[in-house]
Chain A
Amino acid sequence: MNTIPLVPRQAQEAFARRGDQVITVGEFCADVQAVADQLPPCRHLVNLCQDRYLFTATFFAAISRGQTNLLPAKRDPADIISLADRYPQTIIVSEQNVDRGHRITLEPGQQGTQSSPEADPGRIAAIAFTSGSTGEPQAHPKSWQMLDTWRRIHLAHLPDSSRPQGVVATVPSWHMYGLEWAMLLPTLAPVTLFCGADFYPQDVMQAVAGLGLPTLLITTPVHLRALVKSSSVPDNINTVMSATAPLANDLVQQTESLFQADLLEIYGCSEIGSLAYRYPRSNEHWHFFDAFEISSDQGELVVDHPLLLQPVMLADAFSRHGKNSYQLLGRATDLIKVAGKRESLAHLNNILLSIPGIEDGVIYQPDHLGLGKSERLAALAVAPDLDAGRIRRELAQRVQTAFIPRPIQLVDKLPRDSTSKLKHHALRALVRGLAET
């Protein structure tokens, strides 16, 4: 079987910027080889590198060795160890000392070959994990052929794709969104990836200024709101790309007027990755990437592609408005998303009710009830012998930090109806009443 190059670009082109240094494609390929030489024999690898450049080099080093990158949704030490125990011959790597970790180092100016490593297309290059409705992580394997095909699809939808540009990402590369656009795309497109501090508004300002190129900003509504709020608006941004949660209309308008840049929104799912796009200022409808076949099954959209093992039913409901033009209606199931992480609301509610001392309770999304814009969850609990701090600590031991509700408010009882269902309007009335007291 023919192999596929990891970085099919010209060796002398710029690939990344680290501090003051520009790293060429050829130098990056030598670094990938240097990391690959340090990896012990194994079948799976959990890449915990904090530095974006090292993470990227290690990701491709593993693929070049025929090893599979495990991409856990949770990165707490206990979750990493439990994942490593579930998959045979798994190593943990980092540039720092971590529990059971294999430490890698990368000296500048590696002398190795500057040609691109190759990989077998049929090999599983990565496995992404999502939390299923039961709370057990679900595995989504991705072959190297699949990642190669997806990056070509993405390149076709990148604005100004043939022109050199910078890329600054506020999202981690181990999340599918960051992995596809801030790690795979630079291996194909003539872009320079910024590798350095890129999280806070101040960082983004300095990163864009340091690149000195028209720049693609890969970000999320949360970061975008922070940038807008702090008036941190770099003047060299060409395109702002947002994903992981829908952009509110006010944020769309503020972004376009402040940044003077195109705003491109991406929709995807962990099972596949990025699937659809829209330019929300000119058209609210979503367009799926041409390569995917979209069908409808009893009102729900099903996505297929020859490389997928099976078709994927989307968790969101859409309505169709003409050929390849869809309006996003919202969650079709009870799956919710906070800070880019997915969880089942029913599962979270079961966890809340399992805490000793809680007689009744509900975790809800205030914005779903039309109560504010916060994507954070909130909770009401009937627990005469507990206080909110205690409930928060109990939840913190059982769920990811992003899903801990705030506020947690204690009430005498919940307004359940005769079938013990808690209707939206009753819940909304109770929450409004609490806010007024």
Chain B
Amino acid sequence: MTQTAEQQAMARLIIDILNIDDVAPEEIDPDAIMFDDSGLGLDSIDALEIAVAIAEEYNVHISAEDEATKDIFATLGNLTAHVMNESRGLQPAP
């Protein structure tokens, strides 16, 4: 499990926003499921907090209207890929 620089930045954002001090950003496997009992054990309220932080940091707005929201949040890899795709061409939020 090697993280890209973007994945590591996203991992740091998740850890900061959710206050998971005991996990280092590089410890989050980009392909591991984040929202279940075996991984980080995140829930929908965490998804909401992450979505707000992503909007602030990357100016990307996540919507549950998107059929793929569950997949987007499934892993660090998916989330990073989605945010990078959406933000391509956009300047980061000031």
Contact = CB atoms under 8 A, between A and B. Distances in A.
Interface of A: 196-203, 206, 222-223, 226, 229-230, 339, 374, 376, 378, 387-389, 392-393, 396-397, 401-402, 404, 406-409
B45 interface: yes
Interface in B48-94: 48-49, 51-52, 55-56, 61-66
Contacts of B20: 406-407
Interface of B: 18-23, 27, 37-38, 41-45, 48-49, 51-52, 55-56, 61-66
A201 B64 contact: no
Contacts, number: 79
Contact of A201 (B21, B23, B61, B66): B61
Contacts of A404: 41
A387 B51 contact: no
A409 B22 contact: yes
B51 A389 contact: no
Given A200-B64, A339-B43, A226 B49 contact: yes
A409 to B, nearest CB: 7
Interface of B is mostly: loop
Contact of A199 (B18, B21, B48): B48
Contacts of A206: 63, 65
A199 B52 contact: no
A222 B19 contact: no
Nearest to A227: B52
A200 B56 contact: no
Nearest to A339: B45
Contact of A407 (B19, B27, B65): B19
A406 B18 contact: yes
Give 9 closest A-B pairs by Cβ, nearest first: A388-B22, A197-B65, A197-B64, A407-B21, A396-B37, A202-B61, A401-B43, A396-B41, A199-B64
Contact of B62 (A196, A200, A222, A396): A200
Given A202-B62, A230-B52, A389 B22 contact: yes
Contacts of B27: 389
22 contacts: A197-B63, A197-B65, A200-B64, A202-B61, A202-B62, A202-B63, A226-B49, A229-B56, A230-B55, A230-B56, A339-B43, A374-B19, A388-B23, A392-B22, A401-B42, A401-B43, A406-B18, A406-B19, A406-B20, A406-B21, A407-B19, A407-B20
A222 B55 CA distance: 16
A61 to B, nearest CB: 25
Contact of A222 (B38, B45, B56, B61): B45
Contacts of B23: 388-389
B40 to A, nearest CB: 8
Contacts of A408: 22
A310 to B, nearest CB: 33
Given A387-B22, A407-B20, A200 B41 contact: no
Contacts of A406: 18-21
Contacts of A196: 65
A401 B47 CA distance: 13
A416 B45 CA distance: 33
A203 B48 contact: no
Nearest to B20: A406
A131 to B, nearest CB: 16
Q: Which of B20, B44, B65 has the most chain A CB within a 10 Å cutoff?
A: B65
A414 to B, nearest CB: 18
Contact of A203 (B18, B37, B42, B65): B65
